Amino acid sequence: MPWRALTLRVDRAAADAFSDALLEAGAQSVAVEMDGAVVALIALDQDSSALIDAAAHSAGISTPPYSSELVQDQDWVRASQAQFAPVLIGARLWIGPSWHAAPPGRIDVRIDPGLAFGTGTHPSTKLVLAYLERTIRGGERVLDYGCGSGILAIAAAKLGAAHVDGVDVDSQAVQTALANASANGVDLHATLPDALVAADYDLVVSNILAQPLIVLAPLLAARGRRIALSGILDEQAEEVMNAYRPWYDIEITANEERWVLLAGARR
């Protein structure tokens, strides 16, 4: 059965929200390519312009320019797989989907694209992965708050963390994280927020968005001796750091494109 593939150009910061809006508007599948383009698969009888207009309105952006082409099922499978190329992180980590082979000598974290955020290609995810690769030395207790696909938690476990917990507000993400952890052969305790027991962690990581991170500051600060935060645009960094400064000496430690990583240690 042929489909219609729409390739749309939007600001990278809006790509995730726009992707969700396309799915809500009726797209069958959506992927964000490595270069930031959003590719949506729709049925031939769907109105492309109406769907894009509705999604743009929902995401709060202007209707973007797009191109359209017909694809066959098998063509789409190959194209989708090609978008998720492996990523090398630092000297130790390799992040990639199950249909790629990891190079020798690398710690491999295998994440296939799915319903939960986190395949390793987004700059905010890469920033935290690089932080974990630099700082995890073995034996740590780690909390990944907003775990999505579980990629950060799984990477921490594979790098040597002794105990890793994950939390997400989305029950589907919790199940996806657990399934991904099992596929990677690591032990992950993933729950909804209400089920997280009180505990002190050597490191808390959270890759969500600036405003939720500000709201969560007292909760995360009560749990982590060290903290690493991402999902933050450079112009949002100061406001987020101010929210955590009552507990942490915190600063921007890395950036990629317009995204930053904030890291700090408890006073």
How is domain 114-266 classified at the CATH fold level?
Rossmann fold (3.40.50)
Mean of all residue pLDDT scores within the chain: 88
Q: Do domains 3-82 and 114-266 have the same CATH topology?
A: no
Core vs surface per residue 153-168: b (16+ CB within 10 A) or e:
bbbbbbbebebbbbbb
The stretch 80-86 carries a mean pLDDT of 61
In which band, very low, low, confident or very high, does the pLDDT at 43 lie, cut at 50, 70 and 90?
A: confident
The pLDDT of 109-122, averaged and rounded, is 66
Handedness of CA 251, 256, 257, 259 (dihedral sign): negative
The percentage of the chain sitting over the pLDDT mark of 70, rounded to a whole number, equals: 90
| Residue 121 pLDDT grade (very low, low, confident, very high; cuts 50, 70, 90) | low
pTM for the full model? 0.72
Backbone angles phi, psi at 67, to 5 degrees: -120, 160
Q: Where are the domains of the chain?
A: 3-82, 114-266
pLDDT at 56 over 50: yes
pLDDT value, residue 2: 74
- In SS3 terms, 248-267 reads as EEEEEEEEECCEEEEEEEEC
pLDDT at 115: 44
Residue 44 CB coordination number (10 Å): 10
- The whole-number pLDDT of residue 116 equals 43
Q: What is the pLDDT of residues 142-193, one digit of tens each?
A: 999 999 889 999 999 999 999 999 999 888 889 989 999 999 999 999 999 9
SS3 call for 39: strand
- What is the distance between the alpha carbons of residues 252 and 229, in angstroms, rounded to a whole number? 10
Q: For domain 3-82, which architecture applies? A: 2-Layer Sandwich (3.30)
Residue 51 is predicted with a pLDDT of 95
Q: Please tell me the predicted confidence (pLDDT) of residue 131.
A: 97
pLDDT, residue 113, reads: 67
Rounded Cα gap, residues 66 and 165, in angstroms: 41
Q: What is the pLDDT of residue 40?
A: 85
